[in-house]
Amino acid sequence: MQKKTVKRSGAGASAPAPLQDERPANDGEGGASDQEIYERVITSIMEHRLPPGTKLGEDKLAKIFGVSRARVRQVLARLALERVVVLHPNRGAFVAEPTVEEAREVFEVRRPLEALVVHRIVAKKDPAIIARLRAHVAAEEAARAARDRRAIIRLSGEYHVLLAELSGSTLAARLMHELASLTCLIIFLYDAPTVPACRDQEHAEITQALADGDETTAIRLMAEHLEHVEACLDLSRGRPEELDLEAALAG
């Protein structure tokens, strides 16, 4: 039997702003709503079940979700705008393969953005927020106990999205959602095969500092956390394929 996938932490994190006001939600029968399609696709991407470079054929997805191609097209366009997929004209949609440069840019932008979020959280002094964070950290630990690497990486990203959401800034939350998705792709692309146990209890430590209302420590821990994640990556050279290709041609 396969490793069991840890369920996503129900309510909060990674629920990307609905973009439109709610609607009846076509939940009955075969057809899924746009939001559902979006979430299933991006979750699959974040969990690496759809690895970078995978072709996302419109007809194929349409049949899978039991909806028309136009629907799928909309979702793909949205994902493309979030840079999680790239569109090649007349060729179709593919799961994005962030370059090393893009990866560095993502971390570079995340750094100050995470600091801002931490600042806001501390300013709120809301026990309910701490409770939500602790619950999420617990879910992460469960995933780690279950050795579910995919869920671990996705939940790690969602911790930061949850943080941004709880900070009360819808803008920061939206940006963090996008950056977290990209970070997931980056980790799967560049993570050194050594060990994903790099950042284990850091989320718990950050949460504790937030609970203590210690902004300075929380920001420092967050900065270190991001550094650790980035340090675990192998960004010294381009991604495998391109490197191999160039090397082969050079030889």
Partner DNA sequence: AATATATCTTTTGTCGACAATTTATCGATA
Partner DNA sequence: TATCGATAAATTGTCGACAAAAGATATATT
Residues that bind its own copies (CB under 8 A): 19-21, 23, 74, 77-78, 80-83, 87-89, 102, 105-106, 108-109, 112-113, 115-116, 169-172, 174-175
**Of DNA, its own copies, none, which one sits near residue 146, judging by CB under 5 to 8 A according to partner kind?**
none
Please measure the distance between the N-terminal and C-terminal CA atoms of the chain and give it in whole angstroms: 45
Residue closer to DNA by CB (options 58, 205) is 58
Dihedral sign from CA coordinates of 187, 191, 197, 198: negative
The three-state secondary structure class of 186 is helix
Residue closer to DNA by CB (options 3, 60) is 60
- Applying CB under 7 A, the span of 50-58, 141-149, 173-181, 206-214 interacting with DNA comes to 50-58
- 99 within 8 A of 175, measured Cβ to Cβ: no
Provide long-range contacts, Cβ within 8 A and 24+ apart, for 81-86.
82/178, 82/181, 83/178, 83/182, 84/42, 84/45, 84/178, 84/181, 84/182, 84/185, 85/45, 85/56
Interface with DNA, residue 89, by CB under 7 A: yes
Beta carbon of residue 109, minimum distance to its own copies (angstroms, whole number): 6
Interface with DNA, residue 92, by CB under 7 A: yes
Residue closer to its own copies by CB (options 21, 29) is 21
Residue closer to DNA by CB (options 37, 221) is 37
CA angle 149, 228, 201 (to 5 degrees): 55
**Of DNA, its own copies, none, which one sits near residue 92, judging by CB under 5 to 8 A according to partner kind?**
DNA
- 31 within 8 A of 65, measured Cβ to Cβ: yes
**Of DNA, its own copies, none, which one sits near residue 102, judging by CB under 5 to 8 A according to partner kind?**
its own copies
Query: Which amino acid does the sequence have at 144?
Result: R
Q: Name the residues that contact DNA, by CB under 7 A.
A: 26, 31, 55-60, 67-71, 73, 87, 89-93
